[in-house]
Amino acid sequence: MHEMSLMESVIAIVCEMAQLNGASAVKSIRLDVGVLSHINPDSLLFCYEAVRRGTIAEHAALEINRIAGEGWCLDCGKTVPLDERFGACPDCGRYQVQATAGDELRIKDMEVI
Ligand SMILES: [Zn+2]
């Protein structure tokens, strides 16, 4: 379950940023998680419960925003929606699509006290 190590990294970064800003606690964290990223949001939430314990992010609310997949079709020469990382172009049906969005895991923002 790679969500555990991902969540550990997120909490480590969040706590470090909070401490650098002289915060005493983290109130909320917002994450962008792309649908092509093979990251399961439910697993993320589950791991979050375990990982935040004992940190200054212990009582922080976690919000996960799903980012839709998008790719650039070389044949059509345009941006098309993408459901899977190596999926076909919905317009021409070919597999010349390069993913341009949807595989991210990003800390969008956070609130501290
Ligand atoms: Zn196409």
Angle (deg, nearest 10), helices 2-20 and 41-51: 60
Which phi and psi angles does 98 have, rounded to 5°? -100, 125
List Cα–Cα distances, 11 to 5, 42, 97, 113, in angstroms: 10, 17, 34, 16
Confidence check: pLDDT of 24 > 90: yes
1 pLDDT band (50/70/90 cuts)? Answer: low
- What pLDDT digit, counting tens, does each position of 25-71 carry? 999 999 999 999 989 999 999 999 999 999 999 999 999 999 999 99
47 among annotated binding-site residues: no
SS (H, E, C) 19-65: HHCCCCCEEEEEEEEECCCCCCHHHHHHHHHHHCCCCCCCCCEEEEE
59 is in an annotated binding site: no
Residues 68-107 pLDDT 10s: 999 999 999 999 999 998 999 999 999 999 999 999 999 9
Instruction: Establish whether 15 is an annotated binding residue.
Output: no
